[in-house]
Amino acid sequence: MSNETEEAPLSTTAERQVIVEEAGKAPDKDWVIVTRGIKREYDMGGEIVRALRGVDLAVRRNEYVAIMGPSGSGKSTLMNLIGCLDTPTAGEYWLNGQLASRMKDDDLARVRNKEIGFVFQTFNLLPRATALHNVELPLVYAGVASAERKERAFEALKSVALGDRVHHRPNELSGGQRQRVAIARALVNRPSILLADEPTGNLDSSTSEEIMKVFESLAESGQTVIMVTHEPDIAAHARRVVVLRDGVIASDERKERFAAKMGF
């Protein structure tokens, strides 16, 4: 970050403080996510692929962050680490004040279950289970009793306007509907962050718009959202845009600045 203008990039302010100056310490409650120099390397038969080469990122509660960058820049890798679906090879990852990068298997399972809602590009629904059962699953693993589970899953499906599709299987639903089932599933356990990796990547533009509206209204209601996207106009919905390049953060700015640079 060479250009120190009056409009300082986010990474040089409070975020910089929590990441660099408080290194090694647990961030306070306000920070949902703090990563300090996290790396992810793959050993491809002797050749080391550096997917992430030290990422510092801090996200506050209620933020709506878009992550962009060219293909292969490490966006998905970063999302998977944040979502505790993968473990970093180096660095610290603090989630809600807990050091997730050091957690044992069972604690990670609990974190995935309670703290994180993940929406995938390819939906990742159980193909043979109904919409209701798919949405119920996080509650099953949370130990919620059957009746309450059904009730809450049904409410979640209603909130994404699928109250009339609860007994449909994924292959009986449109792409947009499947993704809404996935969103309902991500939200049903009231996670502290909602992560979405190119949630509209498999959808046509009008369906994408519809899904983006769902994220928009979630963000408005105070849900913390981090979303990977290739589309600048989709990123335009977010209030903060992080750009990755070659496994590091190239820029991290408020939407207005980013939009100005992109010519919106």
- Write out the residues near ligand ATP by the rule CB under 6 A: 42, 44, 49, 51, 69, 71-77
3 CB-near residues (< 8 Å, 6+ apart): none
Of the residues 73, 76, 177, 208, which one makes contact with Mg ion according to CB under 5 A: 76
What's phi and psi for 59, nearest 5 deg? -125, 130
Tokens coding 173: 């639903």
Give the shortest CB-88-to-ligand ATP separation in angstroms: 13
Strand partners for 44? 47
The dihedral formed by the CA atoms of 254, 260, 262 and 264, expressed in degrees to the nearest 10: 110
Residue 48 contact among other proteins, ligand ATP, Mg ion, none, beta carbon within 5 to 8 Å by kind:
none
Distance between CA atoms of residues 165 and 174, nearest Å: 11
- The residue among 35 and 77 lying less far from ligand ATP, judged by its C-beta, is 77
**For tokens 């994408």, what's the residue?**
208
177 binds, among ligand ATP, other proteins, Mg ion, none (CB under 5 to 8 A by kind): none
Question: From the CB of 73, what's the least distance to ligand ATP, in Å?
Answer: 4
Residues in touch with other proteins (CB under 8 A): 80, 83, 85-87, 105-106, 109-110, 112-114, 118, 120, 124-126, 128-129, 133, 137-138, 140-143, 185, 189
Which of ligand ATP, Mg ion, other proteins, none does residue 74 bind to, with CB < 5 to 8 Å depending on kind?
A: ligand ATP
50, 78 contact by CB (below 8 A): no
**Which one of other proteins, ligand ATP, Mg ion, none is in contact with 161 (Cβ closer than 5 to 8 A by kind)?**
none
Which C-beta is closer to ligand ATP: that of 42 or that of 264? Answer: 42
How many alpha carbons lie under 13 Å from residue 108 in its C-beta half-sphere? Answer: 15
Q: Which residue has the tokens 């408080």?
A: 22
Q: Which residues bind Mg ion (CB under 5 A)?
A: 76
